[in-house]
Amino acid sequence: MGTYPVKAFGTEAADAALKLLEIERRTVKPNDVAIDILFCGVCHSDLHTARNEWHHTVYPNVPGHEIVGRVREVGADVTKFKVGDLAAVGCMVDSCRECEQCKQGSEQYCEKGNIQTYNSPDKHLNKQTFGGYSAAIVVDEDFVLHVPKNLDLAATAPLLCAGVTTWSPLKHWKVGPGQKVGIVGIGGLGHMGVKFAKAMGAHVVVITTSASKVEDAKRLGADEVILSTDESQMAANSNTLHFILDCVSAQHDVNAYLKLLKVDGTLALVGAPEHPLPIAPFSLIPARKNFAGSTIGSIEETQEMLDFCGEHNITSDIELINMQDINTAYDRLLSGQVKYRFVIDMASLKN
Ligand code: NAP
Ligand code: ZN
Ligand code: ZN
């Protein structure tokens, strides 16, 4: 199979800084779309993976799964994209396409494991997949999304992970009018969760550890804000929420948040800290509460979410950075100093 070299940023070890690397991309196959990457969001999963916090990173690792770009070349059988189109790629680039989940359009739950945009086995090149911290990417057209033309492109990139990862569970648990919905952890995912829950008609309650986000959360669409470090505020709000979306990246006491749920309420985890999160039996039993999880979203849901964002003019609140600033950006992400998503301007990779 033909390949060509592409500039990228990645890391060769858990404790090494990200640096300029050269990777290979495949020449287009009949169903492939080759995309010049314009912008790539910086997800906390990139940091977890680069630093091997989930204990399965294969090095070298090139993170990045919030990709927006322009189509440079299409394979002979491609029908959905043409050269010059805007295109986007999220967290998946393939799946088995044969299992029950794939057949019903839930590729993210592929029973054989979906092929992620980075750090998954690449069946074409016999290596790991490499993500969007790179100048270009080649992806099967079935896993490429259309970008609404009216949205700011850089602020659209985070929709490809932070957007769909919050959209999918809010839809699955039928969040809407008449419901009080809590969003815990107002980072890249959480701030999109607030915007979507509000747009779906719910009464939105932000639960944050950051006093500096209390006022801002209202601007994002929150009806109420609970500062979780204030025990009296937490106690005053026990048994009030129908649903909670937990978007926290670090170790935290889930039991404290479960107390906020009403009878039969669900707390769905999308945040994925490194270590187990202990649950006390009596956090669930006395009020028949549910502790659940959710991963990203299907390709169909991702397109539905992007189209919804186009219609309702919804994008992420971002800070644009150069590729060379990624290591400082990771440090700031860890200390919660980003409102609310870093996005890399990929033009900086050419410098
Ligand atoms: P992020 O921007 O760093 O946001 C994480 C937020 O968590 C912070 O802004 C902070 O919000 C809160 N937080 C941090 N430390 C905390 C602590 N010790 N206790 C309580 N809250 C704390 O990260 P992200 O990119 O949104 O990602 C969030 C998590 O979701 C990561 O673990 C990521 O890997 C995971 N993720 C999962 C999926 C999936 O498919 N399930 C997809 C993407 C990402 P406040 O300042 O408001 O407290
Ligand atoms: Zn992500
Ligand atoms: Zn499958």
pLDDT of residue 210: 97
Could you tell me if 257 and 207 are in contact, meaning their C-beta atoms sit under 8 angstroms apart? yes
Starting from the CA of residue 99, give the closest ligand.
3
Mutate to test the pocket of ligand 1, among 248, 274, 305, 335 (most ligand atoms within 8 A of CB): 248
**Ligand 1 atom 23: residue of nearest CA:** 44
pLDDT of residue 297: 98
Pocket of ligand 1 (CB under 6 A): 43-45, 48, 161-162, 165, 185-190, 208-210, 213, 247-250, 252, 270-273, 294-296, 333, 336
Is the bond into 118 cis (omega within 30 degrees of 0)? no
pLDDT, one tens digit per residue, over 193-229 is: 999 999 999 999 999 999 999 999 999 999 999 999 9
Neighbours of ion ligand 2 (CB under 5 A): 43, 45, 161
**Ligand 1 atom 12: residue of nearest CA:** 185
pLDDT of residue 173: 98
Based on the number of CB atoms within 10 Å of its own CB, is 94 exposed (0-12), middle (13-18) or buried (19 or more)?
buried
CB atoms near residue 212 (< 10 Å): 10
Neighbours of ion ligand 3 (CB under 5 A): 95-96, 99, 102, 110
Could you give the CA distance from residue 219 to residue 221 in angstroms, rounded to a whole number?
5
pLDDT of residue 351: 61
Length reported for the chain: 351
44 Cα to the center of ligand 2, angstroms: 6
129 Cα to the center of ligand 3, angstroms: 18
Structure tokens at 26: 């495949």
184 Cα to the center of ligand 3, angstroms: 31
Mean pLDDT by 10 residues, the chain (351 residues): 95 98 98 98 98 98 98 98 98 98 98 98 95 98 98 98 98 98 98 98 98 96 98 98 98 98 98 97 98 98 98 98 98 95 96 61
The C-alpha angle with vertex 207 and arms to 90 and 337, in degrees rounded to 5, equals: 60
SS3 content of the chain, % helix, strand, coil (to 5): 30, 30, 40
pLDDT of residue 1: 79
Domains present along the chain, CATH in parentheses: 3-161+297-350 (3.90.180.10), 163-293 (3.40.50.720)
Q: Which atom of ligand 1 is nearest to the CA of 270?
A: 41
